[in-house]
Amino acid sequence: MAGASFTLAARLRAGETVHSGWCALGAPIVAELIARAGFPAVTLDQQHGLYTMDTTAAGIAAVHMAGAAPVVRVPLGDVAVVSRVLDFGAEGVISPMINTPDDARRFAAAAKYPPVGERSFGPLRALILNNMEGADYVARANDIVVTIAMIETRQALDNLDAILATPGIDAVFLGPSDLSLALTDGKTLDPHSDEVNAAIDRIGAAAKKAGKIAGAYAANAERTNELAARGFRFLGIASDTAFVRAGTAATWKALKR
């Protein structure tokens, strides 16, 4: 098992707060640069981003070889992709719109091997990246792969305790923009609203009670620090597009012309 990493599960189990850069552009080299900047995890977004299966496979390898933990947010309702990206070597999977215990069970079934789930064997790229044998990977996979269920709706909040109690679910992850829309019946898009902040406290308390990880997306460093102070330990931050825009704007502003 020499060379195996799986730092995400290890860090979370040790009580660390893990910051993940967020990538939507579908460019593996950008994800690699974000990992090399110091982020311990990098999330590749297939749901709303430009990542295809080919660029996801390349991005996972790039992030891994840069020393960070690759995480993938899969498309809505596509549980088949869950096991696919894990076979590519992802250390964590974020599944959107987990609204019911049944949603959570289907997600966990695709991500975890028996007896917890129903994932089929074939982690070709994961074995190569981590210099592992198949039997060793299977023996450890249910512990070292992190399943992260997104909480984004009223229904998900109503079922929060049951989702957290689902075997094979390791963490919940606040989607603040969609939750703001859900809690205002589509009237307001405000990830920092009073309604969302109340939900943050509810999610954090429920996760702590269940012994699971609370995570969230944050648009900037200030919000990230605030959420970390409130007990959230897996934090997706900004995006590669935001990083490029900020760097470009700062340079353009500093130019003498």
Query: Residue 3's pLDDT band (boundaries 50, 70, 90)?
Result: very low
Asked if residue 81 is part of any domain, the answer here is yes
Per-residue pLDDT reduced to its tens digit, 27-77: 999 999 999 999 999 999 999 999 999 999 999 999 999 999 999 999 999
- Mean pLDDT, all residues of the chain: 96
Per-residue pLDDT reduced to its tens digit, 173-193: 999 999 999 999 999 999 999
Can you read off the two tokens belonging to residue 31?
């994800």
Asked if residue 1 is part of any domain, the answer here is no
Query: Residue 5's pLDDT band (boundaries 50, 70, 90)?
Result: confident
Average pLDDT of span 98-126 = 98
- Give the integer Cα–Cα distance in Å for 61 and 69: 10
Asked if residue 2 is part of any domain, the answer here is no
- Give the integer Cα–Cα distance in Å for 121 and 127: 11
By CB neighbour count within 10 A (0-12 exposed, 13-18 middle, 19+ buried), where does 101 fall? middle
Average pLDDT of span 6-25 = 97
Average pLDDT of span 228-238 = 97
Query: CB of 157 within 8 A of CB of 149?
Result: no
Asked if residue 39 is part of any domain, the answer here is yes
Catalytic residue ranges: 48
Q: Whole domain around residue 135: which residue ranges? A: 7-254
**Amino acid code (one letter) for 235:** L
Query: CB of 233 within 8 A of CB of 251?
Result: no
- Give the integer Cα–Cα distance in Å for 78 and 215: 21
The total of structural domains in the chain comes to 1
Asked if residue 108 is part of any domain, the answer here is yes
Report the CATH number at residue 126: 3.20.20.60
Q: Is 75 helix (H, G, I), strand (E, B) or coil?
A: coil
- Cβ atoms < 10 Å from Cβ of 106: 19
- Between the alpha carbon of residue 182 and those of residues 151, 154, 157, 196, 251, the distances in Å are 11, 6, 11, 10, 38
- In the chain, % of residues over pLDDT 90: 97
Asked if residue 143 is part of any domain, the answer here is yes
Asked if residue 32 is part of any domain, the answer here is yes
* pTM of the shown model: 0.96
DSSP state of 37: T
